[in-house]
Structure 1
């Protein structure tokens, strides 16, 4: 895809590259067999199903996966918020409907990839922003598909 951004449809969202997704720790967090109730509390079981390594849980292809930090709110409707860390898989095909990390004319952004009537759009998930129509003369490069979100509370 080789295309460009309409200058009147800019977004202030940015992503900061954090690095590859690799596991450097030996220990894993315990994963309990029972699901936790988000409603009325119930007694917890005292046994563990298995250990949970977040890299194993979130990363399908370690050699092709990296993480970025989001700045901005254009993807809040998709559960991606300012300060979140995205798990991005370069091996996954960037098909329409997927959330992608892309470079459009040198600007790094995260948006939903949309194709409508043969036109490519980078669509936000916040009604305060408009989709970015990618014109034929613009340079669009998709770095990867977002496969997970990490957030601290």
Structure 2
């Protein structure tokens, strides 16, 4: 047995993606999409103009909140009685986008 290295006090733990983008582990969802990954916080407060993940008529969508409505990324406006069929999954806090696609055959 020897002495502990003096540099031991300066060793830092490894940084992980969870340390950077997951603030509430118990209320965080990961939604995989063709473009990449959405990080959705179910406990985050949603305000006007925020990007949210939702389910509408059995389809998973990403939208922005508006004045008494929701506007999807495709431009569809959901308002009035249609909002009753919307299940808000949470606020999109991060988007991890793919920058490389390997579509070439091997």
Give your verdict on TM over 0.5.
yes
Unaligned runs of 5+ in 2: 1-11, 100-106
Unaligned runs of 5+ in 1: 1-48, 72-82
Deviation at 1:50, TM superposition (A): 6.9
- Which runs of 4 or more aligned residues in structure 1 lie more than 4 Å from their structure 2 counterparts after TM superposition? none
User: Which of 111, 123, 148 pairs up with 2:72?
Assistant: 123
> Which digits, 9 at most, give the CA deviation of each residue in 1:33-68, with x for residues without a partner?
xxxxxxxxxxxxxxxx87421101000100000101
Task: Tell me the number of residue pairs that the alignment of Structure 1 and Structure 2 aligns.
Answer: 88
Greater gyration radius: 2
- 1:103–1:143 CA contact under 8 A, matched in 2: yes
- 1:94–1:142 CA contact under 8 A, matched in 2: no
Equivalent residue, structure 1, for 2:30: 67
TM-score calculated relative to the size of structure 1: 0.50
Matched, 1:151 2:103: no
Correspondence 1:4-153 to 2 at 5 A: 51-71=14-34, 83-115=35-67, 119-124=68-73, 129-137=74-82, 138-153=84-99
The structure whose RCO (Cα within 8 Å, separation 6+) is larger is 1
Distance 2:70 2:29 in 1: 24
Larger helix proportion of the pair: 2
CA RMSD of aligned residues (A): 2.2
